[in-house]
């Protein structure tokens, strides 16, 4: 086998493979990013827009020593699960990777993702785990409560949408079938205002311009809407005119904020956020409680499925009312605070100070006196609490896609609470985390939940029982 990095070509079994080469292949299964997986010359091929059972002509887009990336350019046999996507740009930007796959097939795929991850990492007893069918939506569209769109200028026109896959070229999204409709109504009006007022938008080539990103978040159960302008500079020319237009033409907007994030950076948010008009937050109702959401506060994107996710997690804990609970990666308290009425005490933590402030404030406005949140990493604070003599009877973790930190896993195993639930947004890191955790815990069940239809993303709730 020979690999020529300079020419981006590979030689497999006396056959040279380079970018642009086309070949026939049969798709065997789907990968974690929703791509089809097959083989060419006994080497793994990841091909976009291809589903299991399809026979395609694939064109190589990237060459690596041990695998190829390709795109389907012709379908000699289509899957019966292939459907017409609602969004014409579904194949160009992220967030719509599975929109041309029937919804029942999406749900089966997400359950299979968990099984693939378990097979890869092989935690103790994994073959006997009860992996339930994926819990899905009745109508898997119009669910995203937040639109976070970069804003650029193309041929004199202000555009806002998502980056074309693998580029920094913004695809203008005038409509979007997976967004909660109110977010798109407000977003398109804001884009029109920017155009009309001539406010300079960000230019990546020279890091000039003002508006980099517009974020619109809508509360499903209160009708509050927040607009955040992420800007390149503290200066916001024609700010007064913009606020006047929002007040007159978008009365549903109850909060307008500015986040300052200078320069060309991959980070969307800067450290400083200021109020431009209205409240500092919007209010969402979840599980009978009011939650105030500041601009940077994390909230599940799917407000329709969120209560169902939390119901599964809370039920899995099986609380009696006498437990001390740790709510790790707590965000604004959307899991921990509904638990408080079933517990003796709830202690939570998050690394974002604004989220912790929101969580503690949300406890106050909901008259919850047995819940408290601190700023810090779960892997640092839990060992500190254990050293102080606090012993949790139950723990619920909802980590980012990177999964649990090794220090936190050690702290969980050391404290070994009787009741333990893991809310995962990444089957791969979840399965990897189960390897050490299953030394002390059995897995009662894994419940996949589809929080992001039309994408390969999958959430899951894992219920543990101590051995």
List active site positions.
425
Count of alpha carbons within 13 Å of 89, Cβ hemisphere only?
A: 18
Comparing CA positions, the residue from 4, 2, 22 lying closest to residue 12 is: 2
The DSSP secondary-structure symbol of 108 reads: H
E strand intervals along 220-302: 225-231, 253-260, 272-278, 282-286, 289-293
Measure the CA–CA gap between 185 and 198, rounded to whole angstroms: 20
Q: Say how far residue 442 (Cα) sits from the centre of its chain.
A: 28
Angle at 337 between CA 394 and CA 383, to 5 degrees: 40
Among 183, 185, 161, 164, CA closest to 173? 161
The size of the chain, in residues, is 467
Other C-beta atoms closer than 10 Å to the C-beta of 397 total 24
User: Distance (Å, rounded) from C-alpha 112 to C-alpha 36?
Assistant: 14
Task: Find, among 229, 293, 216, the residue nearest to 261 by Cα.
Answer: 229
């Amino acid at each position: 086998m020979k690999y020529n990095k300079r020419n981006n070509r590979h030689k497999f079994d006396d056959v040279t493979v380079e970018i642009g080469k086309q070949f026939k292949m049969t798709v065997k299964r789907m990968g974690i990013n929703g791509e089809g997986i097959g083989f060419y010359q006994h080497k793994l091929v990841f091909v976009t827009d291809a589903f299991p059972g399809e026979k395609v002509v694939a064109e190589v887009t990237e060459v690596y020593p041990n695998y190829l990336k390709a795109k389907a350019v012709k379908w000699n046999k289509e899957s019966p699960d292939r459907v017409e996507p609602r969004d014409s740009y579904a194949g160009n930007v992220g967030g719509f990777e599975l929109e041309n796959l029937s919804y029942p097939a999406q749900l089966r795929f997400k359950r299979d993702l968990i099984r693939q991850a378990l097979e890869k990492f092989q935690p103790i007893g994994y073959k006997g785990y009860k992996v339930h069918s994926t819990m899905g939506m009745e109508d898997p569209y119009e669910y995203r409560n937040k639109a976070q769109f970069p804003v650029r200028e193309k041929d004199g026109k202000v555009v806002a949408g998502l980056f074309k896959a693998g580029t920094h070229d913004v695809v203008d999204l005038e409509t979007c079938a997976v967004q909660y409709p109110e977010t798109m109504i407000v977003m398109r009006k804001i884009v029109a205002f920017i155009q009309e007022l001539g406010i300079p938008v960000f230019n990546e080539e020279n890091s000039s311009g003002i508006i980099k990103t517009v974020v619109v978040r809508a509360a499903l159960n209160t009708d509050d809407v927040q607009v955040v302008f992420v800007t390149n500079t503290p200066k916001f020319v024609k700010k007064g005119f913009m606020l006047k237009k929002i007040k007159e033409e978008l009365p549903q907007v109850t909060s307008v904020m500015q986040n300052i994030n200078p320069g060309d950076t991959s980070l969307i948010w800067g450290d400083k956020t200021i109020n431009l008009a209205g409240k500092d937050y919007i209010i969402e109702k979840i599980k009978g409680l009011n939650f105030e959401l500041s601009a940077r506060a994390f909230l599940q994107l799917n407000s329709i499925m969120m209560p169902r996710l939390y119901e599964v997690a809370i039920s899995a804990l099986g609380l009696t009312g006498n437990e001390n609970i740790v709510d790790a990666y707590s965000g604004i308290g959307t899991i921990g605070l509904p638990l408080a009425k079933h517990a003796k005490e709830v202690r939570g933590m998050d690394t974002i100070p604004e989220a912790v402030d929101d969580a503690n404030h949300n406890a106050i406005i909901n008259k919850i006196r047995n819940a408290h949140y601190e700023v810090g990493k779960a892997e640092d604070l839990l060992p500190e609490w254990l050293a102080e003599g606090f012993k949790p009877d139950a723990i619920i973790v909802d980590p980012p896609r990177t999964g649990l930190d090794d220090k936190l896993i050690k702290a969980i195993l050391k404290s070994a609470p009787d009741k333990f639930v893991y809310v995962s947004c990444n089957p791969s890191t979840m399965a990897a985390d189960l390897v050490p955790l299953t030394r002390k815990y059995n897995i009662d069940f894994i419940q996949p939940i589809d929080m992001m239809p039309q994408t390969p993303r999958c959430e899951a709730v894992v219920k543990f029982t101590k051995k």
